[in-house]
Chain A
Amino acid sequence: MSDAAVVLDGITKSFGNVEALRGIDLAVPRGSVLGVLGPNGAGKTTAVRILATLLKPSSGHAYVEGHDVVREAAAVRRQIGLTGQATALVDELTGRENLVMIGRLTHLPKPEAEARAQALLKQFDLDDAADRTAKTYSGGMRRRLDLAASLVGHPRVLFLDEPTTGLDPRSRLGMWDVIRGLVREGTTLLLTTQYLDEADELADNIVVIDRGKVIAEGTSDQLKDRVGGDVVGFSVESAAATAKAVDAIANVGDTAPTVAGLDVSVAVGARGSEALLEVVRRLDAAGVTVSGLGIRRPSLDDVFLALTGHVAEEAEVASA
Chain B
Amino acid sequence: MSTLTWAMADTWIMAKRNLTVWLRVPAYLVFTVVQPTIFTLLFRYVFGGAIHSDVPGGYVNYLLPGIIGQTAAFASMATAISLAVEVQKGVVDRMRAMPMARSAFLGGRLLADLVRMTITILVIVGVGYGVGFRFHGGVGRAIAMVLLAIVLGAAVCCISATIGLWLKDEESTQAFGLIWMFPLTFVSSAFVETKTMPGWLQAFAVNQPITHVINAMRALALGRPLHDDLWLSAVWLGAIFAVFAPLAVRVYKRVS
- Which residues 140-155 of A sit at the B interface, judged by CB distance below 8 A? 149-150, 153
Contact B90 A87 (CB under 8 A): yes
Residues from chain B with Cβ under 8 Å of A78 in the complex: 99
- Cβ A53 vs Cβ B21 within 8 A: no
Taking A52-B97, A77-B98, A85-B90 as contacts, is the C-beta distance between A90 and B21 under 8 angstroms? yes
CB-CB under 8 A for A84 and B98, given A49-B256, A93-B21, A105-B13: no
Chain B residues touching A, majority SS? helix
Residue A262 at the chain B interface, CB threshold 8 Å: no
- Cβ A106 vs Cβ B99 within 8 A: yes
Count A-B contacts at CB 8 Å: 71
A101 contacts the other chain (CB 8 A): yes
Q: Would B97 and A133 count as touching, CB distance under 8 A?
A: no
* Across-interface contacts of B21 in A (CB, < 8 A): 90, 92-93
Chain A residues near B17 (CB, 8 Å)?
90, 93, 101
Which of B6, B10, B13, B97 is most buried by chain A, counting CB atoms within 10 A of its CB?
Answer: B97
Assess the A93–B20 pair: CB atoms within 8 A. Answer: yes
Q: Are B90 and A133 in contact, with the CB atoms below 8 A? A: no
Question: What's the least CB distance linking B133 to chain A, in Å?
Answer: 34
B195: A residues at CB distance < 8 A = none
Tell me, in angstroms, the Cα distance from A82 to B25 when the chains sit together: 28
Rounded to whole Å, the gap between the CB of A33 and the closest CB of chain B is 20
Decide if A55 is an interface residue (CB 8 Å cutoff). yes
A215 contacts partner chain B, Cβ-Cβ < 8 Å: no
- Asked if residues B99 and A88 are in contact (CB atoms below 8 Å), the reply is no
State the CA gap A149–B10 with chains docked (Å).
17
Q: Which residue of B lies closest to A79 (CB)?
A: B99
Indicate if the CB atoms of A88 and B98 lie closer than 8 Å: no
Q: Which 9 pairs show the lowest CB-CB distances between chains A and B?
A: A86-B90, A88-B90, A88-B94, A84-B90, A105-B100, A92-B21, A52-B97, A82-B97, A77-B99
| Besides the known contacts A52-B93, A92-B21, A105-B10, 10 further A-B residue pairs in the complex with CB atoms under 8 A apart | A54-B93, A54-B97, A55-B256, A77-B98, A84-B90, A88-B93, A88-B94, A105-B13, A107-B100, A149-B94
Hey, which bits of chain A sit against chain B, CB under 8 A?
A: 49, 52-55, 74, 77-78, 80, 82, 84-90, 92-93, 97, 101-102, 104-107, 133, 149-150, 153
